[in-house]
Structure 1
Amino acid sequence: MPNYTLITGASSGIGESLAREYAEGGYDLILTARRTDRLEKLAGQLREQHGRTVEVISADLGNPDGVAELADTIIARGWALMGLVNNAGFGDSGAFSKRPREKQLAMIQVNVTALVDLTHRLLPTLERAQAPFIINVASVAAFQAGPNMAVYYASKAFVLSFSESLSEELRGRVSVSALCPGPTASEFAERAEASKANLFKMGTMSSQKVAAIGIKNHRNTIVVPGVRNKLMVWGGKITPRALLRRIAYRINS
């Protein structure tokens, strides 16, 4: 019986790249997202190219019932898990007071609540595997406040803190890693209405490179891909927070 790695938000961007990298590395996969047609196409390619077992489950993690249905399906089918990649997430750009409240709350549901819920539900299954792992996709945004993307930055700060805490709690049983990419070439910026923001005009890293670095280092608690992103995190640690907020406000505008 295969030992699967579950990847959420696998239909595009970093999630799709993670699926391709893992399949090439010999992993069997469970792919989930809302867009079943994209998942089926990707799964077919991975089966043909790499001869791996790839299962597809359509799930809407923006719906609390969707998280339960996903976990219950995996458990009911008796699928053994060795890896959980919590990649699903999205952002939003603009002044908090002017953005739709529903979208802000949906962001918290997907970026935070679904991640915690799914991890809690599937952890007993993971702990039965040999050398199991969890990757939670956070962001360099996790290391600072983010005016004009306030809820997104705060959600990723939660993911980073949660991942660090779990890493210590589960030491020796399950490795937990927070993957913290910077601006990445994907659908994220368009969906967040941030494609014209200075942040993305400064350049992006490919989702393939982010995925490759994340997988190579997935036994490390915090993974920041790319020299520029590492410098951003390091610079944030020595910059007064008041100044850092002003800089973030400008690059997110």
Structure 2
Amino acid sequence: MDRFDFTRGTAVVTGAASGIGEQLAHVLARRGSALALVDRDAEGLERVAEAVRADGTRPVTTYVADLGDDAAAHALGATLAAAHPDTTLLVNNAGVALGGTFEQVSEEEFDWLMAINYRAVVTLTRALLPVLRANPGSHLVNLSSLFGLIAPPGQVAYATSKFAVRGFTEALRAELAGQVGVTVVHPGGIRTRIAQSSRVAASVSAGEEASEKAAFDRLLSYPPEKAAAEIVDAVERRRPRLLIALSAKVPDLLARIAPAHYTTLLGLVMRAARRSK
């Protein structure tokens, strides 16, 4: 396929009120895309939209929706397809984190995370794929994670959702080859609000929760604006797979070299890194 043309059509971005989604909105606006921005945080979404409008000349439309509600996700998909028949780019970026072992995470908590991180990706892709197909040269981006490459203890729910996004996207890429470009993104430790806004299983003690969030937050150092620029570059070049930061590339390499033992190797690497500081 030819390189992606950002000046043609509308780009839909979910999770646009902060982090990578916010920075994607700015980069895409500067590249000439009209935008349809989605988030459940109405105040944050409007703040981003106003800043993007000041940063570019193309239209910016906002949609407040809770993607954890399956009915709301389906309604949003129908609305976006009807309101933006010129859509040429869909970026399924919205996601949440949930710490805790499998036994600590309740069925309701597990389902909440799967609804946002995986089912909403499938729902919005299903709703907008006919639109993307109708606009030649279109592209789809789904954000998986470092934890769509490796599956550490204490992240069963999150890793399950991100491995599901990875599998869904890779299979869909093969089905859409030559028709719609498809990229799966595996960010490493990107400096966003995901640690502060993450949930920990209700059965986890307050002390464990604080320790879990602090450990997670220490991993987040890669600038979100740099991550967004890499994603936009991957779209333009039609790259099928993008790993962002060494914190994704090194674990991916270890998982390929020693798929049955990478958790032990990663533990050794992390302990050595802490001693070197």
Query: If the length of structure 1 is used for normalisation, what is the TM-score?
Result: 0.91
3-state DSSP of counterpart to 2:91: strand
Alpha-carbon distance change, 151 to 106 in structure 1, aligned in 2, over 3 angstroms: same
Bigger Rg over Cα: 2
Correspondence for 2:275: none
Measure, in 2, the Cα distance between the counterparts of 1:230 and 1:107: 25
8 Å CA contact 2:254–2:262 kept in 1: the answer is no
Correspondence for 2:158: 152
Is 1:195 the equivalent of 2:213?
A: yes
Q: Structure 1, unaligned stretches of length 5 or more?
A: none
Alpha-carbon distance change, 2 to 95 in structure 1, aligned in 2, over 3 angstroms: same
Q: Give the partner amino acid of 1:54.
A: V
Deviation of 1:95 after TM superposition, in Å, equals 1.9
Q: 2:107 aligns with which of 101, 107, 123?
A: 101
Deviation of 1:158 after TM superposition, in Å, equals 1.0
Q: 2:226 aligns with which of 184, 209, 223?
A: 209
8 Å CA contact 2:16–2:22 kept in 1: the answer is yes
Q: Structure 2, unaligned stretches of length 5 or more?
A: 1-6, 201-211, 271-277
Query: If the length of structure 2 is used for normalisation, what is the TM-score?
Result: 0.84
Is 1:174 the equivalent of 2:212?
A: no
Deviation of 1:203 after TM superposition, in Å, equals 5.2
Q: Give the partner amino acid of 2:262.
A: L
Measure, in 1, the Cα distance between the counterparts of 2:100 and 2:127: 34
8 Å CA contact 2:188–2:246 kept in 1: the answer is no
Alpha-carbon distance change, 22 to 78 in structure 1, aligned in 2, over 3 angstroms: closer
Measure, in 1, the Cα distance between the counterparts of 2:8 and 2:241: 28
3-state DSSP of counterpart to 2:97: coil
3-state DSSP of counterpart to 2:141: strand
Correspondence for 1:162: 168
Question: How many residues align structurally?
Answer: 249
Runs of 4+ deviating beyond 3 Å: 245-251
Percentage identity across aligned positions? 29
* Within-5 A mapping of 1:11-50: 11-50=17-56
Is 1:7 the equivalent of 2:13?
A: yes
Instruction: Give the alignment's Cα RMSD to 1 decimal.
Output: 2.1
Deviation of 1:111 after TM superposition, in Å, equals 0.8
3-state DSSP of counterpart to 1:89: coil
Is 1:140 the equivalent of 2:146?
A: yes
Deviation of 1:2 after TM superposition, in Å, equals 6.8
Q: Give the partner amino acid of 1:33.
A: D
Measure, in 2, the Cα distance between the counterparts of 1:5 and 1:42: 15
* Within-5 A mapping of 1:44-63: 44-63=50-69
Q: Give the partner amino acid of 1:83.
A: L
Correspondence for 1:231: 250
Measure, in 2, the Cα distance between the counterparts of 1:122 and 1:14: 21
Deviation of 1:196 after TM superposition, in Å, equals 1.5
Please give the per-residue CA displacement for 1:80-133, whole angstroms capped at 9, x wherever unaligned: 200000011111112221234322111001111111111011100111113100
3-state DSSP of counterpart to 2:214: coil
Alpha-carbon distance change, 186 to 77 in structure 1, aligned in 2, over 3 angstroms: same
